[in-house]
Each structure stands twice: as structure tokens, then as C-alpha cells.
Amino acid sequence: MKKSKLKKKLKAAFWLIFLSGCLWLAFVPPTNMLPPSITVKVQQPLPPEEPHSLEELLTAPPQPSGGEEQIPLGLLPQNGTILVPVTPEAPVAPSPSGKTVRIAIVIDDLGPELKSGERAIALPSAITLSYLPFAVRAREQAKEARDNGHEILLHLPMEPLGHEHPGRGALMVDLPMSELRARLETALSSLTGYDGVNNHMGSKFTTYKEGMELVIDDLMERRLFFLDSRTNTQTVAIKVARQKGLPSLSRDVFLDDDPSPEAIRKQLEATERVAHRNGFAVAIGHPHTTTMDVLEAWAAEAPSRGIELVPLNKLVEWKP
């Protein structure tokens, strides 16, 4: 008898629990049993003053939105709708300052080697080419370069420190002024169609104030600018040029003291850093095969980094 009563009580309890479960399922919102999900409203773009934290986003007032997408986010404490800012894909910044910077590249020591001269002329036309005044067929080479769009300089031989000879007709510090004037006149008359002059060697002569005054005065009369190759940190060339009002520039980087491709690429990177800092930079290289190969590849990629390759005359201004 006792067992029969116990079975009846257990059976009643089972049905009571079962019916309670059914009633709970019928009246409790089913979303409470599902992993939380969220509707993401994509906003394009988010203004600077909009909230950025998740808590702020959850409480932000509705904004105009784009498309919607259901995304399960199991770690969120509850369902809801949030605004997810989408930052538009920005173009590559031209430079850290947001401006395009300019770089002038000069290949000098041209003239003696015809083969390397032809290779230099094949470089992008924005690269400036500088010719030694008494090289074989220098006048013809310079004309061909000019016809192919290159700016031309005369690479004026000047006395260096040490015993290396700068070449025929060089300006030397121990010459009388009359001889210096004659040598300068002969050198400057050896080419035509050039825009400026830069020194070949000259680590000694560019520190000689009287000699540089002679050079700068003559360039002023001819309206030719001067590029100081800066073969000596004690050079007075730029100081004299500025005192006399001659447009002038100073070399920032030598590209190929080490002519290996890796070293040249590093020097080009250094040139870019100078340009980003100052707005422009001037680099000088020489007609080595490796230099010209690296330069050609670099010039093709430079615009994508916000670099404009320009001839030197774009960096100097003549006063009326």
C-alpha cells in the first residue's frame, strides 16, 4: 500500500514539473535563451566629435547609416544596435607634412666616357646632367642631353686639397686674378645652353673668398646659378653667392661614395628624409652603372611616396 502511494506522488510530481516547464517555455521570451546578437549600423564616416568607446557607442543617438549586418557577439551583455564608424580608405600621404616634396638629382663628371654619357641621357629627363668643360665631344653630348629634356650644368674644375689633379684649366688658389679670369672665361665658353655651374673637386678653391667672388661675379653677369658641391665643409661659396644676390644651392647628399646598389639606395633614403624635413633636397651622383640603374628604379617609384623629381632650376629663383 505504501509503495503504491509513493508511486502516485512521484508521478504527480513529474507531471507538475513537466507542466511548469511547458508554461515557462510558452511565456518567457525566447530571445533570452539565444546567444546575444547585435545589429551593426555602418556610419560613413564618423565625425571627429562622435563617441569612440563601446559604452559611448551603445548610448549614442541614432545617426544616418548605411547598410546593416547581423553579427553574433556572444560576449555582449545584451542585444542592441550600435554605430560602427567606418574610416574611409585614405590616399597615401604625400609626406609626413602632407605636402609633396621636391628632389633634384645631379649626375656630374660627365663627358670623358661616351658610353656612360649615353646611359645618363637615357635617365628620366628631370635628372640634371653636369659636363666637364674640356671633355671629348662635351659640347655635342650636352646638346643631345638638352634635346632630350635634361637641364645642363657646367662642371667647373677647381683645386682640391691634397695632390689629386682636377683636370685641364682648373681654377687654382695661387694663380693671379688675371689668369683665373682667363681660365674661367675659357671654361664657361666651352659649352652652350646650360643653366648653372657646379664645382668639380674644389675642396681648396671653394674656401678661397677672393677666387669665389670672381666666379660669382661672372655668373651674375651671365645669369647662371651656382650649385656648391660641398666638397669641403669650410666652403664660402654659398655665403659669397648670397651676399651678391646670386641664386645658389648646396648639395645635401652624395649618392655613390660607395657605389654598391645597397649603399646608393640608403643614400636616396637619406635624401628623402632631408626633403621631408626641408621641403626639398639636392643629391649628386656620378655616371656609374650601378648609380644609374638604382636611380632609374627609384625615379619610377618616387611619385608614389609624394616626391617630385625636378631639375635644379625649379629650386632657384631669379630676382628681377
Q: What are the sequence ranges of the domains in the chain?
A: 35-90, 101-314
Q: Is the pLDDT of residue 56 over 70?
A: no
Q: How confident is the model at residue 4 (pLDDT cuts 50, 70, 90)?
A: low
Residues belonging to the chain: 320
Q: Is the pLDDT of residue 83 over 50?
A: no
Q: Measuring CA to CA, how many Å separate 157 from each of 110, 229, 285?
A: 12, 11, 16
Q: Which of 126, 47, 68, 165 is nearest to 308 (CA)?
A: 126
pLDDT of residue 99: 80
Q: Which of 196, 178, 174 is nearest to 186 (CA)?
A: 178
CA separation for the pair 151, 282 (Å, rounded)? 14
One-letter amino acid for residue 16 of the chain:
L
Least confident of 88-92, 143-147, 174-178, 289-293: 88-92
pLDDT of residue 92: 34
* Digit-coded pLDDT (tens) for 176-187: 999 999 999 999
Question: If you classify domain 101-314 with CATH, what class do you get?
Answer: alpha beta
pLDDT of residue 250: 97
* Digit-coded pLDDT (tens) for 22-49: 665 555 554 444 444 444 443 444 334 3
Strands (E), the chain: 37-43, 68-72, 80-85, 101-110, 128-131, 152-158, 196-201, 225-228, 248-250, 253-254, 280-285, 307-309
Tell me the average pLDDT across 99-111.
96
Half-sphere exposure of 254 (CA within 13 A, CB side): 12
Q: Is the pLDDT of residue 64 over 70?
A: no
pLDDT of residue 188: 98
* Digit-coded pLDDT (tens) for 257-298: 999 999 999 999 999 999 999 999 999 999 999 999 999 999
Q: Is the pLDDT of residue 131 over 80?
A: yes
pLDDT of residue 259: 96
